[in-house]
Structure 1
Amino acid sequence: MLDTLGPLALFTLVAAISPGGATTLATASGLQYGLARSFPMIFGIAFGMASLAAAAAGGLASLVLASPALHLGLKIVGTAYLLWLAFAIARKGRPPQNTQLANPVSFWGGMGLLWLNPKGWAMTMGAAASFSTLIPNPVNLASWLGAAFGLSAIVSLTLWCSTGVVMARLLKSETQWKVLNIFLGSLLAASVIPIWLF
């Protein structure tokens, strides 16, 4: 089992830490709200990734891929949600001094981001297919894959969010804030391109 868990942990960590919509959102959240206020979003994305990985191992991904209409619907809704978040990030400036007025993405918003993100589906489906030969029992595969993706997401998103916190300390002017937020919003918008290549 240890021979399987090492590669599984490495795969999920690399998949979770690679730049994409969730990592960009975590960086922007750290920039705007700090690490502590971003934890609900981080745990929501991690739970979304863990539950999606478990569902993919249990066969849900096959159902989505077998239905072109459902797959297209997922892409459309996921794209719309990511573009809406990208626009919201891009139009932000310096965070308000009274941070209680600002609302970071919630646990449910983070979970929804993952469940509507075809990159998340592709990662978890690939992992389920790759590791099904090493862990042939679907229940065990779902458990291990869900746990590995969930923990990897927490580690990855905490690092990306902390990067945003550090960047916030370096920004001095309103123009710098606007430029960085436009850049992060543009990155998030660009993350929809691979969605349509699958």
Structure 2
Amino acid sequence: MELYIAILVFAFSSTITPGPNNIMIMTSGLNYGIKRSVPHLVGICLGFPLMVAAVGLGFSTIFDKFPILHEIIKVLGVAYLLYLAWLVASAAPSSLESKEQESKPLTFMQAALFQWINPKAWVMATGAVAAFTSQSTEMLIQVMAISLSFFAVSFPCVGSWLLFGSVLKRFLNQPNYQRMFNVSMALLLVVSVLPVLNELRETYLA
């Protein structure tokens, strides 16, 4: 029982803290509102626990045999995050967008697949599996317990960031304020990938 509580505490603390998912869902809440951002929210809340299950049940062994695949995913992840940062920074305030030029939030599938190129998601998934599994207990049971813990905390944790973004819209009702917010969130996304960029630089350019 104590182990499961520890897993829940880890899942909650790692899910509620800032990261690419939470920054993006908060930005989506401000720019598109809660209703249009629900597929994005559900994609995160289902996609990440499924990723944890896949990593825990042996997907990580593929990367042990073919480490270049992990490096490729890492590079693609950084490139995609930088692209998303540019989209966020250049997004027009919702009050200025015409029907023809209106941008769209991430879909369910885009948000779910994003977990596989999200650096923080990899750290959380591999860290949880490494810390809360042991050879003395059935691996399937342990991995499912970890995945279900993340599923249980995902909706309230990630949902709170979506709600916060939606509430902010009431205060940032001026186009210039919305632009400033979008640029700030884009910069945070860039900052979130700096450790990965530094790691890649040390590996391939040092």
Query: Is TM > 0.5 for Structure 1 vs Structure 2?
Result: yes
Q: Which amino acid aligns with 2:35?
A: A
Runs of 5+ consecutive residues of structure 2 not aligned to the other structure: 200-206
Q: Does 1:152 align with 2:153?
A: yes
Q: Distance in 1 between matches of 2:163 and 2:177?
A: 18
Deviations 1:21-58 (A, max 9, x none): 00100110100111121111111111121011111211
Structure showing greater radius of gyration is: 2
Q: Distance in 2 between matches of 1:11 and 1:161?
A: 21
Other-structure match for 1:188 = 189
CA contact 1:44–1:110 (8 Å) conserved in 2: yes
Other-structure match for 2:93 = 94
CA contact 2:133–2:143 (8 Å) conserved in 1: no
Q: Distance in 1 between matches of 2:8 and 2:99?
A: 36
CA contact 1:48–1:111 (8 Å) conserved in 2: yes
Q: Does 1:8 align with 2:22?
A: no
Q: Distance in 2 between matches of 1:65 and 1:120?
A: 18
Q: Does 1:18 align with 2:20?
A: no
Q: Distance in 2 between matches of 1:5 and 1:99?
A: 48
Q: Distance in 2 between matches of 1:147 and 1:95?
A: 36
Give the TM-score of the pair, scaled to structure 1.
0.91
Shift of residue 127, structure 1, vs aligned partner: 0.5
Using the TM superposition, name which of 35-44 and 95-104 deviates more: 95-104
Other-structure match for 2:169 = 168
1:82-161 correspondence runs (5 A):
82-96=81-95, 101-133=102-134, 136-161=137-162
The alignment yields a C-alpha RMSD, in angstroms, of 2.0
Q: Distance in 2 between matches of 1:105 and 1:23?
A: 13
Shift of residue 104, structure 1, vs aligned partner: 1.0
Q: Does 1:40 align with 2:39?
A: yes
Runs of 5+ consecutive residues of structure 1 not aligned to the other structure: none
How many residues were matched structurally?
197
Q: Which amino acid aligns with 1:187?
A: L
Other-structure match for 2:204 = none
Q: Percent identical across equivalent pairs?
A: 27
